[in-house]
């Protein structure tokens, strides 16, 4: 569509937002007894409720018109067709093919990868089964009790988040640990309680050159050699990498190297062999259910009309808040302790994808792009940053995630947890007027002077928007659905902003500079004359 159509769609949204200023979400509920039904979308045992946003049917219609002006459906079709939608690197972004159970060809830039995907997955599953069954032994001929995944970014955040989320499904499998930070404390603290003779290391690096990962892998290797001897290395290491040569140089048996494809980006790689640690942790059957959850959402995203399409609506509501209402942050609050790492996982997924300032054509963007994502599990967040969310000067849209039923947790505790989630979402929407605050203080028996003094501090503006993702329980299939929902939400927003969500050149710049500075930091004889004054001064101070 012509650029003018997009501009017109944004103008219409701006005009609509101005007209909505006189409205409040509680008023909208009071006038429409069917509001919840109109502004929620069920998907089997999953529900997306967005009725607490200050929106109307006209809002959704205008957002869908914006999506049509940006040809979201056409861009979505190109994504699923395996076209090179990552235009700066000339690659597809076909991670959805790793969870495709349709039995149709999985075409990536004209080539059918289905057989290769399924063969690779079965290699991962066979290895996971053998580790869990104790059929593969360490150097002391003992089964492995602990798995240490060494990676960073997408090679760490995804498997670490998912292993924690699905911990009740581990059964008799080994414990999993994750090391990412090049800070030696991360590796040391992780390994300190472990028996190296019963520990398997997975080095997760597509190129086997990632600086932080390879530094940690080399240190782990040195510890294994010191404790068990050089011959123990092939028995205690596996790799997820495309570089068989480098893995072999490290001492890893080629049969324990699992690859994936350049059309699978790092932050989308949990579905691939990068999920090896998760497959070992929960077993192939549960990992398959995780994949099926992602496929559920892929099918829904492709087939549901945009005004009843959960990830599309999540993305469009985000555009409404970011671009029309000027809200620069977004909070994700899972009311599930096992999803403690989910907000961190989404930080990478969202901010690394859509933290861009140029369009796909390399021109400056004309609108704000990705918001800052943050979050913590409820109820912890309620006793931390919720004060700012309730009464601060800026409005932050919130996603609440909560299960109807607990998994391996006390039902009474879960009822309290669930009640807190609903109470917070209601409080953000409803708020408390100054007169309501005064009435509450008078009911407490306060003197009138004290009522007048305290009431402003106990008033809440309300009209603070939130969505609720409600699901039956946090099982592998539900987790797969949650991850895929946010993947497609991020894609939807990238289309509206006309940016490429599948590259990350900002990350690369930092890597380049770190590689240049490392020798200067390590060797005090190297001159700092070519560095900027601040960097040179900091290095000089360190040298003493």
CA nearest to 478, candidates 293, 311, 271? 293
pLDDT tens-digit series, residues 531-542: 999 999 999 999
286 is catalytic: no
How many secondary structure helices (H) and strands (E) does the chain include? 23, 13
Mean pLDDT of 180-196: 98
Which of 83, 95, 236, 352 is labelled catalytic? 352
Pairing of strands 46-49, 466-471: antiparallel
Instruction: Say whether 255 is catalytic.
Output: no
pLDDT, one tens digit per residue, over 79-138 is 999 999 999 999 999 999 999 999 999 999 999 999 999 999 999 999 999 999 999 999
Annotated catalytic residue within 122, 249, 450, 511: 511
**Does the pLDDT of residue 493 top 80, yes or no?**
yes
State the SS3 of 94-136.
CHHHHHCCCCCCCEECCEECHHHHHHHHHHHHHHHHHHHHCCC
Among residues 262, 329, 283, 304, which one has the least CA distance to residue 464? Answer: 329
Confidence of residue 513 (pLDDT cuts 50, 70, 90): confident
What pLDDT score does 512 carry? 85
Q: Answer whether residue 2 shows pLDDT above 60.
A: no
Residue 145 has pLDDT above 90, yes or no: yes
Structure confidence at residue 3 (pLDDT): 63
Which of 383, 435, 448, 452 is an active site residue? 383
Residue 443 annotated in active site: no
- Alpha-carbon distance of 403 to 14, in angstroms, equals 36
SS3 state of residue 139: coil
Task: Read off the tokens for 297.
Answer: 């959402």
pLDDT at 197: 98
pLDDT digits (tens, 9 = 90+) for 351-410: 999 999 999 999 999 999 999 999 999 999 999 999 999 999 999 999 999 999 999 999
Task: Find residue 399's DSSP bridge partners.
Answer: 332, 467
pLDDT value of residue 231? 97
Q: Are 210 and 152 in contact (CB under 8 A)?
A: yes
Distance CA 143, CA 174 (A): 9
């Amino acid at each position: 569509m012509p650029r003018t159509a997009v501009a017109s769609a944004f103008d219409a949204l701006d005009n609509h937002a101005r007209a909505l200023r006189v409205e409040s979400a509680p008023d909208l509920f009071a006038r429409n007894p069917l509001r919840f039904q109109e502004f929620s979308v069920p998907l089997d045992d999953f529900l997306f409720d967005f009725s607490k946003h200050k929106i109307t049917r006209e809002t959704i219609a205008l957002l869908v018109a914006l999506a049509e002006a940006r040809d979201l459906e056409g861009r979505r079709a190109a994504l699923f067709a395996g076209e090179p939608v990552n235009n700066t690197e000339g690659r597809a972004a076909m991670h959805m093919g790793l969870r495709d159970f349709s039995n149709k060809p999985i075409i990536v830039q004209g080539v059918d990868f289905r057989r290769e995907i399924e063969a690779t997955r079965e290699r991962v599953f066979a290895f996971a089964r053998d580790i869990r069954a104790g059929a593969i032994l360490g150097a002391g001929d003992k089964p492995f009790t602990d798995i240490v995944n060494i990676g960073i970014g997408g090679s760490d955040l995804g498997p670490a988040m998912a292993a924690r989320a699905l911990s009740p499904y581990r059964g008799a499998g080994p414990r999993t640990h994750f090391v990412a930070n090049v800070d030696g404390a991360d590796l040391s603290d992780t390994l300190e309680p472990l028996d190296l003779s019963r520990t398997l290391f997975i080095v997760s690096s597509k190129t086997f050159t990632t600086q932080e990962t390879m530094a940690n892998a080399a240190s782990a290797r040195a510890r294994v050699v010191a404790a068990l001897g050089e011959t123990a290395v092939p028995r205690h290491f596996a790799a997820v990498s495309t570089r068989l040569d480098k893995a072999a140089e490290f001492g890893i048996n080629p049969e324990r190297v699992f690859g994936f494809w350049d059309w699978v980006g790092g932050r989308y790689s949990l579905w691939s062999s990068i999920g090896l640690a998760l497959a070992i942790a929960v077993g192939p059957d549960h990992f398959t259910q995780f994949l099926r959850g992602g496929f559920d959402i892929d099918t829904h995203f492709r087939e549901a009309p945009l005004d009843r399409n959960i990830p599309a609506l999540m993305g469009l509501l985000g555009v409404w808040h970011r671009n029309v209402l000027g809200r620069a942050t977004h909070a994700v609050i899972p009311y599930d302790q096992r999803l403690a790492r989910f907000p961190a996982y989404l930080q990478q997924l969202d901010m690394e994808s859509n933290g861009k300032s140029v369009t796909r054509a390399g021109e400056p963007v004309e609108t704000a792009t990705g918001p800052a994502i943050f979050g913590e599990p409820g109820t912890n967040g309620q006793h931390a940053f919720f004060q700012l969310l309730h009464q601060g000067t800026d409005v932050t849209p919130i996603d609440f995630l909560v299960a109807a039923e607990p998994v391996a947790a006390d039902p009474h505790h879960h009822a309290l947890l669930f009640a807190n989630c609903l109470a917070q979402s209601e409080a953000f929407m409803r708020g408390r007027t100054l007169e309501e605050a005064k009435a509450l203080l008078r009911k407490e028996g306060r003197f009138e002077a004290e009522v007048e003094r305290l009431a402003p501090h106990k008033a809440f503006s309300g009209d603070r928007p939130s969505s609720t993702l409600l699901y039956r329980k946090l099982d592998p299939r539900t987790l797969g659905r949650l991850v895929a929902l946010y993947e497609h939400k991020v894609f939807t927003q990238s289309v509206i902003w006309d940016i490429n969500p599948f590259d990350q050149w900002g990350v690369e710049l930092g890597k380049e500079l770190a590689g240049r500075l490392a020798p200067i930091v390590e060797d005090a004889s190297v001159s700092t004359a070519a560095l900027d004054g601040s960097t040179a001064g900091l290095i000089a101070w360190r040298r003493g």
